[in-house]
A and B are shown apart, each in its own frame.
Chain A
C-alpha cells in the first residue's frame, strides 16, 4: 500500500484546518504526525480514512493494483482522537460487535479476542461492563478494537493519551511488534520521547501546514540551526585556548575537564576535533543531537510567529 497526499486543503467555516499538506507513506514502518493541538493532524487523518472529504488537493491510495481517494474499507484500523465504546456492554460484547461489523467469522473473532485480551492482560475482565474499567484499560480495549481484524495499516490518533508510563511502554512494545510484522503505522502523539524511539519518519505540523518531514536526521537538518558538541580532557585545560575556537555558549564543569558548546550546523567537525585536541589530552569528543522535543518546540514557536506575522 502506498499513500500519496498532495496539496491537501480542508476548511471548516472560517478556519483552514489543513493547508497545502503533502507527504507520502510507504509500506511498512511507522510514521509520526506531530504538532500542537489544532495543528490539523486529526482533520488530515479524517480525510485519509474517508470520514470527510478534502476541499482541494488529492489523496491517492494505491493498494493491490487499484487507486482509491481514501483508505479502502477493511484495509486499515482506526483509533480516533474522539473515541469511546458502549459503556453498558461488556468488553467481549463490544469487541464481538466490532469484529462482526468488520465481517470476521465467529471463530476468527474468538481467536483474535483470546490473543489480544491476553496480550493486554485483560482476559479476566472480558465479561465486565466497559464502564467498570479504568480509563487506561478502556484505552487498551479501543486499541484491540482497532487491531482485531489484523489490518495491514493502522492509524492511531493519540494512542498513548490516558495511559500510565507502564502501559505506555506496553503499547510501545505492541506497536514495535506490529511494525516487525510489516504493519504500516501512522500515529499522532504528544509524547515526544516515545515517538522518537518508535517512528521511522516524522511529519511536523503547525497551523495546518507541514513544517518539517522525513527521518529524524532529516528533521534535524531541516529544523536545527545549531548543533551541540560535548568533549572532555583527562586533566584541567586552559579555557583561553578553547575560546579562540568557533565555539558558542562554551560551558565547563568546575574541574575544567568537561565542556559543551554550540557550533554552526555546517561546521567541519573533523577540523574542529583537531583544534580541540591541540588544547589538551582529549578523552572524548562527540556530537550531541538536540532531542526531538526541543526541536519540536522551537519549530512550532517559530512557525506560529511566522503565521501571526502573515495574518
Chain B
C-alpha cells in the first residue's frame, strides 16, 4: 500500500464524509430525536389531559365502582327506560347490574369503553370475592404473589439470583440495541452510497475524476467515507438512546440503569459493526456503480439485500446459544450482525471468534475489489447499464 494510495483514499473519504455531514441537519436530527423521545414519554399524560370525564347512570343497590375519570350516579329503577332512551344527553352510558351480571348500555362504540369494561370486570371480580366471606388470613394468602426463584448452576457462587436474572434482561436489551443500531447504519449506508455514486454519474463527475485516481482508490475512499458517516449516525443514535433511556430510568426508578456491558463486549461490538458496515458499503458501492438512473433501474431493489443479515440477527436475539446463531455468527455475510449478539448474550469460544473474524476480513478484501471492478466495468459502458450476465462475469473473475 503506497503512501500516495493512502493519501488519495483519505482525501476521498474525507470529502465523501463532509459531503453528507451538514451541521444544521445534524442538529435538526438530534432535536427531532429528542423531541420524539420526549413525546413518547409524555404521551400518556397528553392523552389523559385531553380525555373527558364520562358520566354513567347505575341501576344497582350495592357499592358504586370507583374508576378514574368516570362519574357513577345511582338512579332509581323507575327511570331506567327513560335514561336508556336518552343516552348521550345527561349520561354517556347506563350500567344495569343484576346480581353478578352487568349490562352496559351505550349509544355507539367508543375508545373509552375498552378500559371501562376492563375496570368494571375487575370491580365485579372483587365483589364476587367479597361474597365468599373469607377471613383476613385467607384473603392475605389468596392475594400473595406467586414467585419462581431461579438458580443458575453456572453461577453457583452468586448468591443473588435476582442479579443474574437482571443481567439476562440487560443483555437482551444490549443485543436489541445492537440490532437497532446496525439497522440504522445499514440504511444510512444504503441511502448515501446510492446517492453518492448515481449522482456523480448523473452530474458527470466520473470521467474527470478517473484521470486523477484509479477506480480502486476511488471506491475505497467512498466506502470508507460513507462508513464513517454511517458509524457517526449509529453512534450518535446509540448515545442519545442511552441518555434518554437512563433519563427515563432516573426519573421513574432512580439512579442509572445497570447494564451488563463489559469493555470487551463493547469493543467487540464496535469492531464487528464497523467491519460489517465496510462490507455492506462495499457491496452497495459495487451495485450502485452498475446503476445509471436509480429512478428507472430495476436493479435498485438488489440494494436491499444487505438488510437480510440484519433481519436474520433479529431472530437470534434472546436465543444466541442456538445452532442457527452459531452458523450466522461464522458465515462471513452475516457474522458482522450475529457475532456481537452471541458475544453479548452467551459468550463464544475463541476459535469460533477467530474463524469469524478471518472469514469476514477476507470477504471484505474481496468485496472492495469487486466494487472497484464493477465500477470500472460500469463506467466503460458509457450510458448503458451492464447486464446480469456481465455482472456475474465480473464477480467470478474477481
Contacts and interface: CB of A to CB of B under 8 A. Distances in A.
Interface in A12-52: 12, 46, 49-52
Interface in A59-83: 73, 76, 78-80, 82-83
A86 B205 contact: yes
A83 B15 contact: no
Interface string A207-218: 000000000000
B212 A101 contact: yes
B208 interface: yes
B19 interface: yes
B15 A80 contact: no
Nearest to A87: B203
Contacts of A49: 211
B207 interface: yes
B208 A51 contact: no
Most interface-central of B205, B209, B211 (chain A CB within 10 A): B211
B208 A142 contact: yes
A46 B382 CA distance: 11
A86 B19 contact: yes
A89 interface: yes
Nearest to B206: A82
B210 A101 contact: no
B299 interface: no
Nearest to A155: B211
A88 B208 contact: no
Given A51-B210, A103-B7, A84 B15 contact: no
A133 to B, nearest CB: 13
Contact of A80 (B7, B8, B11, B208): B208
A171 interface: no
A111 interface: no
Contacts of A292: none
B302 interface: no
Interface in B185-226: 203-213
A81 to B, nearest CB: 8
A224 interface: no
Contacts of A80: 204, 207-208
Interface string B1-21: 000100110011001000100
Contact of B4 (A87, A98, A103): A103
Interface in A71-129: 73, 76, 78-80, 82-89, 97-98, 100-103
B11 A78 contact: no
How many residues of A sit at the interface, in one of the four size bands?
Answer: 20 to 34
B166 interface: no
B380 interface: yes
Contacts of B382: 12
B203 A78 contact: no
A52 B207 CA distance: 11
A145 interface: yes
Nearest to B221: A101
B207 A98 contact: no
Interface in B342-391: 379-380, 382
A51 B11 contact: no
A83 B210 CA distance: 12
A145 B205 CA distance: 12
B208 A89 contact: no
Contacts of B379: 51
Contacts of A145: 208
B211 A83 contact: no
Contact of A51 (B12, B15, B203, B211): B211
Contacts of B8: 101
Contact of A101 (B204, B209, B380): B209
A82 B212 contact: no
A83 B213 contact: no
Contact of B203 (A73, A86, A100): A86
Most interface-central of A76, A79, A82, A87 (chain B CB within 10 A): A82
Interface in B137-188: none
Interface string A132-170: 000000000010011000000000000000000000000
Contacts of B208: 78-80, 83-85, 98, 142, 145-146
Contacts of A100: 11
Contact of B204 (A52, A82, A103): A82
A12 B15 CA distance: 34
Contacts of B7: 103
A71 to B, nearest CB: 8
Contacts of A76: 211
B211 A50 contact: yes
A153 to B, nearest CB: 12
Contacts of B212: 98, 101-102
Given A52-B380, A97-B15, A85 B211 contact: no
B211 A82 contact: no
Most interface-central of B8, B207, B213 (chain A CB within 10 A): B207
B19 A89 contact: yes
Contacts of B204: 80, 82-84
Contacts of A82: 204, 206-207
B11 A97 contact: yes
Contacts of A86: 19, 203, 205
Given A51-B207, A51-B211, A80-B208, 4 more contacts: A12-B382, A73-B211, A85-B205, A85-B208
* 7 cross-chain pairs, A with B, having the tightest CB-CB distances, nearest first: A84-B204, A84-B203, A80-B207, A101-B212, A82-B204, A78-B211, A100-B11
21 contacts: A12-B382, A49-B211, A50-B211, A51-B211, A73-B211, A76-B211, A78-B211, A80-B204, A82-B207, A83-B204, A83-B207, A83-B208, A84-B203, A84-B205, A87-B203, A97-B11, A98-B208, A100-B11, A101-B8, A101-B11, A103-B7
